[in-house]
Amino acid sequence: MFAQDAYAKKKPRAQIICPGCWNVIEDRFDTTDLVCPHCAHRFNPQDGPTDGQHVRDSTGQRHKIKDLLPADGSPPAHRLYALMALKGNGDKCYLPARPHDHMLFAEAEQRLRTEDLPLPTLAVRPGHNTDQARGYHYHHWRDFFNARQLLCLGLLLRSILKIEDQAVQEQMLCLFSSTLEFNNLFCSFKGEGTGAVRHMFSNHILKPERAPLENSVWGTDRSSGTFSTLFESRLLRAKRYLDEPFELVLERDLLGTRTGSRKFTASAPLEAVRVDTWTELQATEGALMVLNGNSASLPLPDACVDAVVTDPPYFDFVHYSELSDFFYAWLSPVLGTRYPWMRKPDCSDRGEVQHKDHGVFARQLGCVLSECRRVLKDEGVLAFSFHHSRAEGWAAIHEAIATAGLTVVAAHPVHAELRAASPKTSARDPISLDAILVCKKRSEATQHASSTDSLPERVAHLIRRLESADLSVSRGDRFVIGASQLLIDAGTGQWDRDTVCKHLEAWRTECFMREAESC
């Protein structure tokens, strides 16, 4: 079964591929006994050949998928088996792959050999996330695309580079970068009614797809994740926001029940003159300055900033510079002459904060936060979001904050990633909350005494507020709320790292014990 509606019980129609003749059959999503009308093969559509990292062959023998990779070191081969098409009236339908479809793909392969296109040549470097793909023989970033995708993306990029207006060209390059996420062999099919295309980073890992989706690069008005639809949903949407910045207001009835939301215009149009130096920023009314560089070394004077709002990298499992090489491989060859920083071999940097070792992570983040403290005014605030499921991550954050001479004065739990997001659906205790940590210089934070309420009382109060807004709170969320509150206590008491870890582990145990008791 390769396609069904996101709300299958309401719309039970599903698309099934016959393992006997590879024809497409339409039937219910929950059928367990099916006879193919094309070849009379009988099978259970719920029982596919793959199970986790294993696959069964036609004789029933079980193999590890990695053991069946090509011996020559090339990535796994793929077979085109079905197409989604649009009828003349705009309705979608599914068709089996016909000889003509295979011929079209072969023509694309042939044309790719003859075109001079700006395609990626960068190798996939070893790393925590990249090794997930390298283990399946994806050794170069161009391996993440089939021949037709490389041809279409290469033609599109070549055309964008012919745009003479640099500002327009670079907006189109941003749009092209977004299109890459939805047009590669690591994308999959979400199903009808959900936007259809699951982009390659939906799992926060470089996970090869057993049944990848080849999207349409340019797209139609019924597409998702294509250049033309992203032009409307991302670029034009952003332009409209600049012209009319808005906020959302929640609406409630007389009983306090939420009934919906509405937009209201929040400010005049966002217009600014971009400058390159602090001196120009001070001298130019309505100016803004955008820097691309090392956050631990800012070209700003001491005590000049009112507020720092940031989002530090995740502590251990998501290595952003490794993942961003996917985009860098396409853009650095064509922009390296324009921007010297794009002449590096990859996105890695000696001082990058991301690291699976909590000590290195705390030290590198501490350098950034120390620089934030230097440029902050005495009464200024630093605010950033964070969540983690383990005590080590929170202890590393505390260590970085303390090293920088800052202290947490407030912690606000806020709704973050949806629990239905791909990384959450398989988690036992999914975390849907982020903690917004508000910090001040330690010398300015003495008036922020820790609450007299106990930690469980503070957490219970915050949970009641979240639940009153119709948010459910998991055990993982409860731990995040308590851990963020503990950082306030840690700053007030100037706890060392071991003390922080001890309290965090005790709170984690209490969270899971409380859940067990309530069950």
Does residue 223 lie within any of the structural domains?
no
**At 303, which amino acid appears?**
A
Does residue 501 lie within any of the structural domains?
yes
- Residues with Cβ within 8 Å of 15's Cβ and at least 6 positions away in sequence, in order, are 1, 2, 3, 4, 24, 25, 26, 82, 94
Number of domains making up the chain? 1
Q: Compare 79 and 292 and report the one with higher pLDDT.
A: 79
CB neighbours of residue 410 within 10 Å: 15
- Residues with Cβ within 8 Å of 348's Cβ and at least 6 positions away in sequence, in order, are 125, 321, 322
Q: Could you give the CA distance from residue 117 to residue 152 in angstroms, rounded to a whole number?
A: 10
Q: Compare 209 and 519 and report the one with higher pLDDT.
A: 209
Does residue 422 lie within any of the structural domains?
yes
Q: Which domain holds residue 385?
A: 302-318+354-518
Mean pLDDT of 8-20: 92
Phi, psi of 454 (to 5 degrees): -70, 165
Query: Residue 411: its pLDDT value, please?
Result: 95
Handedness of CA 466, 468, 469, 471 (dihedral sign): positive
Please work out, in degrees rounded to the nearest 5, the angle formed at the alpha carbon of residue 260 by the alpha carbons of 259 and 265: 140
Answer whether residue 314 shows pLDDT above 80.
Answer: no
Answer whether residue 443 shows pLDDT above 70.
Answer: yes
Query: Residue 427: its pLDDT value, please?
Result: 55
Strands 3-4 and 24-28 come out as unpaired
Q: Which tens digits make up the pLDDT trace of 117-173?
A: 999 999 999 988 899 899 999 999 999 999 999 999 999 999 999 999 999 999 999
- Residues with Cβ within 8 Å of 300's Cβ and at least 6 positions away in sequence, in order, are 278, 375
Distance linking the first and last C-alpha atoms of the chain = 36
Both tokens of 319, joined, read 């290595």
Query: Residue 51: its pLDDT value, please?
Result: 85
Q: Which tens digits make up the pLDDT trace of 343-379?
A: 999 988 776 766 667 778 888 899 999 999 999 999 9
Query: Residue 41: its pLDDT value, please?
Result: 95
Query: Residue 331: its pLDDT value, please?
Result: 96
Closest C-alpha among 298, 311, 320, 321 to residue 204: 320
- Confidence band of 519 (pLDDT split at 50, 70, 90): very low
Does residue 477 lie within any of the structural domains?
yes
Q: Among 101-105, 309-313, 513-517, which is the least confidently predicted range?
A: 513-517
- Confidence band of 323 (pLDDT split at 50, 70, 90): confident
Closest C-alpha among 386, 249, 422, 404 to residue 309: 386
Does residue 384 lie within any of the structural domains?
yes
Both tokens of 423, joined, read 């990384």
Does residue 456 lie within any of the structural domains?
yes
Q: How distant is the alpha carbon of residue 259 from its chain centre? A: 30
Q: How far is CA 496 from CA 287, 355, 500, in A?
A: 42, 21, 6
Query: Residue 356: its pLDDT value, please?
Result: 65
Q: Which residues pair with 27 in a beta bridge?
A: 14
Query: Residue 450: its pLDDT value, please?
Result: 56
Does residue 76 lie within any of the structural domains?
no
Q: How distant is the alpha carbon of residue 452 from its chain centre? A: 39
Q: Could you give the CA distance from residue 277 to residue 254 in angstroms, rounded to a whole number?
A: 52
DSSP helix/strand/coil, 436: strand
DSSP helix/strand/coil, 19: coil
Percentage of residues of the chain with pLDDT beyond 70? 92
Closest C-alpha among 182, 178, 226 to residue 202: 182
Answer whether residue 448 shows pLDDT above 60.
Answer: no
Q: Could you give the CA distance from residue 469 to residue 357 in angstroms, rounded to a whole number?
A: 37
Averaging pLDDT over each range in 127-131, 335-339, 500-504, which range is the top one?
A: 335-339
Both tokens of 37, joined, read 């009308």
CB neighbour class for 517 (10 Å; exposed up to 12, middle 13-18, buried from 19):
exposed
DSSP helix/strand/coil, 431: coil
CB neighbours of residue 202 within 10 Å: 17
Answer whether residue 315 shows pLDDT above 80.
Answer: no
**At 323, which amino acid appears?**
L
Mean pLDDT of 445-463: 78
Percentage of residues of the chain with pLDDT beyond 90? 58
The CATH number covering residue 505 comes to 3.40.50
Q: How far is CA 317 from CA 416, 462, 497, in A?
A: 18, 28, 22
Q: How far is CA 212 from CA 48, 89, 184, in A?
A: 16, 27, 8
Contact status, residue 208 vs residue 133, Cβ threshold 8 Å: yes
Q: Among 7-11, 58-62, 426-430, 491-495, which is the least confidently predicted range?
A: 426-430
Does residue 41 lie within any of the structural domains?
no
The DSSP secondary-structure symbol of 465 reads H
Closest C-alpha among 95, 78, 77 to residue 86: 95
DSSP-derived secondary structure for 229-281: HHIIIIIIHHHHHHHS-EEEEEEE-TTS-EEEEEEEE-SS----EEESSHHHH
Q: Could you give the CA distance from residue 409 to residue 471 in angstroms, rounded to a whole number?
A: 25
Contact status, residue 382 vs residue 376, Cβ threshold 8 Å: yes
Q: Compare 475 and 303 and report the one with higher pLDDT.
A: 303
Average pLDDT of the chain to the nearest whole number: 88
- Confidence band of 294 (pLDDT split at 50, 70, 90): confident
Q: Compare 91 and 317 and report the one with higher pLDDT.
A: 91
